[in-house]
Copies of this chain bind each other. A is one copy, B any other.
Amino acid sequence: MEKLTSRQENYSERYNQLVKQAWLAENSPVRWCMVIKPLGFAIWENMKSVLDLMFKKTWHSNAYFPLLIPKSFLSREAKHVDGFAKECAVVTHHRLKASADGKSVEVDPDAKLDEELIIRPTSETIIWETYKNWIHSYRDLPLLINQRANVVRREMRTRAFLRTTEFLRQEGHTAHASKWEAQEESLKMHDVYNDFMTNFLAISPVLWEKSESEKFAGAESTYTLEAMMQDNKALQIGTSHFLGQTFSKAFDVKFTNQDNKQDYVRSSSWWVSTRMMWGLIMSHSDDQGLILPPAIAPVHITFVPIFKTQEDLDAIMKYIQTSIDTISQQSLTIKSKYLWDYKIPVILKIDDDPNKWPGWKFNDIELQGCPLRVVVGKRDIESGTCEFWQRDTKEKISITIEELADKIVPTLETMQSRLLTNNIKRMEEHTYIADSRDEFKKKIKQGFVLAHRDGTEETEAKIKEETNATIRCIPFDAKKESGTCIYSGKKSSQRVLFALAY
């Protein structure tokens, strides 16, 4: 196993190594696409199932819509086309045939489709075409549906989890009778995401609205969650959108309201994707590898028995049996706004593979971010002890075997809080205020910057051109204060959050 490059040496290269070596993901033999490896997929599934439960607690149902979208659907909503129809995968034929020499296959020219099909870059068009037949009266509203889907947007410069041609995500698409309800929904889902990021991923994002130029194509308002990565750049880790009547008008989705009049429905949409995996890795890892927040870890403790013979192993297994039985019945509790006291069963693994050296096993545990490690050798049996190690602090102590079981849940819960506290602290330490152009240009390289701007798209474009920084959001808790734009000197009523972003 090669050693990981340190973060200081080459942050980007070290990310690629970590993702591959820790069994998270790798580039696939198919250009621009990734393979999600077992540990990566297990973490993703844990994320999915917590989010799914949050969606169900807020009355959403899951459904599934087609992968393929007829080309003509994409012409319906002009802004939407501009945003998504450019780089995508176009299906033109429906058959292959054997080549003349019988050694390969080729596209059958007789099998051209009447209308090309596009692999969904996002699903608004097919979903709204379907909703049209589901919605007739106010009795059919609200319609609260979520879909988990693979989507394809062709990307040339790919990076596992951050930017790949195919990626996985969930997308919620809801329909409502009133503007108020649709807006309320987009804010609620923004809050659900925040609950999830904060309490499960131990990532505390900056919240609230996108500026005009950074909104989702077709949205009246876009609410974002912007997380600070370890290199102080921002990642948009989730978004929700209040769409007004954009899609209901484009797809002619009307309903009879309580006054017996026809009206277009209002809508919201919201999504998170495998980008969250990238955010997790870039928030919680050190030079030795990944650090998994216990709330999302597929395995919480790995036991490593140190043995040479089967007899030794049997003796160790007998010695730890009571602890294992007790720990297997335990759960940690995660406090969450939408899931209250959410219980997660403690998952333990015993790595007794006789073909691997303990040193390899320790290395894998560290690399893959398992929160706790317990090592037991023959001498521990004599002294009634075991070695207890925590991934994030790397604190290693010897404790009695009787103490072990009672230590697990409190240690995991403390680790979960500590990771969040550290995340908040890092962000606070790297968030600056800039009141001049020069100060802005200096500070923007070091983290998030709160600054006044005049609110025009021209100024925004100018700042981006000069510094690469964009307005990440107009923060929820930004207090009203008058000031002057750092670029134009014009009036401003509020600071906004700037950052370099992924």
User: Chain A: residues with CB nearer than 8 A to chain B?
Assistant: 28-30, 33-38, 40-42, 45, 61-75, 81, 85-98, 103-107, 111, 116-119, 126, 129-130, 139, 145, 150, 152, 154, 165-166, 168, 355-356
Contact of A62 among B45, B92, B103 (CB under 8 A): B45
- Taking A30-B68, A41-B62, A41-B64 as known contacts, 18 extra A-B pairs with beta carbons closer than 8 A to each other, sorted by chain A number, are A28-B66, A28-B130, A35-B130, A36-B64, A41-B63, A67-B150, A67-B166, A68-B166, A81-B98, A85-B105, A86-B96, A90-B93, A90-B95, A90-B96, A92-B92, A92-B107, A95-B154, A150-B150
Chain B positions within 8 Å of A103 at CB level? 75
Query: Contact between A88 and B95 (Cβ–Cβ < 8 Å)?
Result: yes
Among A35, A74, A106, A130, residue most surrounded by chain B Cβ atoms (within 10 Å): A35
Query: Contact between B29 and A130 (Cβ–Cβ < 8 Å)?
Result: yes
Query: Contact between B95 and A93 (Cβ–Cβ < 8 Å)?
Result: no
Query: Contact between A97 and B90 (Cβ–Cβ < 8 Å)?
Result: no
Tell me the complex Cα distance, A441–B272, Å: 57
Q: Which residue on B lies nearest to A102, using beta carbons?
A: B78
Contact of A104 among B75, B86, B89, B118 (CB under 8 A): B75
Q: Which residue on B lies nearest to A25, using beta carbons?
A: B64
A333 to chain B minimum Cβ distance, whole angstroms, is 18
Chain B positions within 8 Å of A28 at CB level? 65-66, 126, 130
Query: Contact between B118 and A96 (Cβ–Cβ < 8 Å)?
Result: yes
Query: Contact between B105 and A30 (Cβ–Cβ < 8 Å)?
Result: no
Query: Contact between A29 and B126 (Cβ–Cβ < 8 Å)?
Result: yes
Given A87-B94, A95-B88, A29–B129 Cβ distance below 8 Å? Answer: yes
Given A42-B61, A61-B41, A94-B154, A89–B107 Cβ distance below 8 Å? Answer: no
A406 to chain B minimum Cβ distance, whole angstroms, is 27
Given A30-B126, A93-B90, A95-B86, A37–B63 Cβ distance below 8 Å? Answer: yes
Query: Contact between A66 and B166 (Cβ–Cβ < 8 Å)?
Result: yes
Q: Which residue on B lies nearest to A133, using beta carbons?
A: B26
Tell me the complex Cα distance, A350–B75, Å: 42
A164 to chain B minimum Cβ distance, whole angstroms, is 9
A112 to chain B minimum Cβ distance, whole angstroms, is 10
Chain B positions within 8 Å of A87 at CB level? 94-95
Pairs of residues from A and B, 7 with the lowest C-beta to C-beta distance, nearest first: A38-B61, A33-B66, A36-B64, A90-B93, A75-B104, A30-B66, A29-B129
A154 to chain B minimum Cβ distance, whole angstroms, is 5
Chain B positions within 8 Å of A38 at CB level? 61-63, 145
Q: Which residue on B lies nearest to A96, using beta carbons?
A: B85
Q: Which residue on B lies nearest to A164, using beta carbons?
A: B66
Q: Which residue on B lies nearest to A72, using beta carbons?
A: B104
Given A90-B92, A139-B355, A145-B38, A105–B64 Cβ distance below 8 Å? Answer: no
A24 to chain B minimum Cβ distance, whole angstroms, is 11
Write 13 A-B pairs (CB below 8 A) sorted by A numbering.
Answer: A33-B67, A36-B64, A38-B145, A40-B63, A41-B63, A67-B152, A68-B152, A72-B104, A74-B96, A75-B103, A81-B105, A86-B95, A90-B93
A307 to chain B minimum Cβ distance, whole angstroms, is 18
Q: Which residue on B lies nearest to A166, using beta carbons?
A: B67
Tell me the complex Cα distance, A168–B63, Å: 12
